Every structure is written in C-alpha cells, then in structure tokens.
Amino acid sequence: MTDIPKSHPRYASLVARERVTEGVKMGFTSSQGLIAQGRGECFDYLLGERTIPSARAATRAAAALLLLAEHPALSVNGNVAALVAEEMVALADALKIPLEVNLFHRTEERVKKIADLLREKGAKEALGEHPDISVPGLDHARALATRGGIYDSDVVLIPLEDGDRCEALLAMGKKVIAIDLNPLSRTARKATVSIVDNILRAVPHLTEQVRQLSELHRTDLEMIVREYDNEKVLRDAVQEIQDHLERQFKKDTN
C-alpha cells in the first residue's frame, strides 16, 4: 500500500481507497467495488467526512434493534471485507453471532478468501461457503444464503449493499439495517434503519453502542426503536449536506 502521511488532509479517505484497491489485488473485492467506493467517498466528502448527529441516532437504533432480535445476522461483501473485516468480527463477537459472506459478483474462490480472512481476524464462525437456500425475488448470486444465518434472521445488517436485496429481505418480513453514505439511495430509503455514515466510522460506533445498550432492559431498547424515525434521519442527512456546502461556499468567499 502507498505510504500516506497522516498529515494529509484527506488521510482517512485515501487509506480507505488503498484498502479497497488492495482488496481487489488480494481477491476479496471485485473491480466493480472500486466504483462503489468512489461513489461513497463522494457523499462522505459532501457530509464533511464526519459522523453527523442523525447517523449517531440511527446507529443507536440499529444497536437496539440487533439486541432485540431473536436471530440477528451480519452480511459481509467484498468492500466490507477490504475495509472493516476486523471491525465486523468485533461486532459479531459483541452480539455472539456468526458473519455471513454474500456477494453479487460471486465466485467460490472469492467467498472462501473472505471467509478465511474473517476467521484470520478472529471470527468464531463465518458462513457463506456452502449456501443451501435462496432469498426469494432475487435472480442473481446475491440470492444465495445459508440456513441459520441471513435466511433465518429477523434482523439483518447489510452494509454497502444494493437496493434490490434490501427490498427482497424486507419482503421476507425482516428488519434491515443499512450502512449507506447516500441518503437518496434505494437502499437507504427502503431500509428499516439507515446509517448514513462512512463504514470505517459506522461499524466501530455500532459495536460501541451494542456494548453500551446491552445493559438496558428490553423495554428501554423497544422505546429506542419505537421513537426512531428513519425518514427524519434521511431528511436530516440531506440537510447536513446542504448546510455543509453552504458553509464551504461562505468560507471560500470570505
């Protein structure tokens, strides 16, 4: 990887870019994942490359939802593996659940490499190498799933994924948590809880919230979920983009 000085003003963004590029070289990430990373990077830039208040509210609700679930599940794709494999393992450990590899541009070699990476990072269980059922309504490889994992879950986290899988999982009666920097995407608009934040920040924050909220009584967790408004979170994210741009224009003209 390129040696990027920490003093660089875009240090975090450049490191993420390098990780995804390295993921392609290592075989975790598809070349199409580079395009997806660039799109997300654009929205993070518009948000000021920071975790906004509405994202914190969404993260808290997501943690409560995962803790309330009878069978929560965590999905890992190529970009997630390249960017936050260790962090996803920590989240799975905090919830005491397995991770499941799921890919749009699927090859068995890529699935195995990602599962091996997760196990190398400490995952107690990584599903996905032997799918035994399909998610209804999907006609591509992302339909493949594993019993005991995403297919049987009631709440599922799908970071950096597409809208059609989000909709298919919702149609199965699941609650879906998305991590998506684009508040206008179909995934963000359809998900039960949409965390509009960079995954590098979002997953550690989510793990922290899971650990903090795990001490709460079930009724308190239910209140957090009940009071959460995903439409408001998305509207707030759009407003944050607008406010950030206005501040930048004022700064440049002064």
Walk along the chain (254 residues) and give the pLDDT tens digit of each residue. 567 667 766 667 777 788 888 877 887 877 776 777 768 888 998 999 999 999 999 999 999 999 999 999 999 998 899 999 999 999 999 999 999 999 888 889 999 999 999 999 999 999 999 999 999 998 888 889 999 999 999 999 999 887 889 999 999 999 999 999 999 999 999 999 999 999 999 999 999 999 999 999 999 999 999 999 999 999 999 999 999 998 887 777 76
Question: According to the model, what pLDDT value does residue 5 have?
Answer: 66
Cβ neighbours, 10 Å, residue 163: 16
User: Can you list the alpha helix ranges (DSSP code H) found in the chain?
Assistant: 11-26, 32-46, 53-68, 78-95, 108-120, 163-171, 186-190, 199-213, 218-227, 230-253
Superfamily of domain 53-238: Phosphopantoate/pantothenate synthetase (3.40.50.12640)
pLDDT at 114 (0 to 100): 95
pLDDT, residue 50, reads: 93
Burial 124-157 (b: 16+ CB within 10 A, else e): eebbbeebeeebeebeeebbbbbeebbbebebbb
CA 131 – CA 112 distance, rounded (Å): 12
Cα separation, 26 vs 28, in Å, equals 6
pLDDT given at position 29: 79
Phi, psi (rounded to 5 degrees) for 127: -90, 170
Burial class (CB in 10 A: 0-12, 13-18, 19+), 204: middle
pLDDT of residue 105: 83
CA dist 192 and 174 (Å) reads 9
- Is the CB of residue 23 less than 8 Å from the CB of residue 76? no
DSSP string of 210-243?
HHHHTTS-HHHHHHHHHH--HHHHHHHHHHHHHH
Q: What pLDDT was estimated at residue 149?
A: 95
Pairing between strand 144-145 and 155-159? unpaired
H or E segment and range at residue 175: strand 175-179
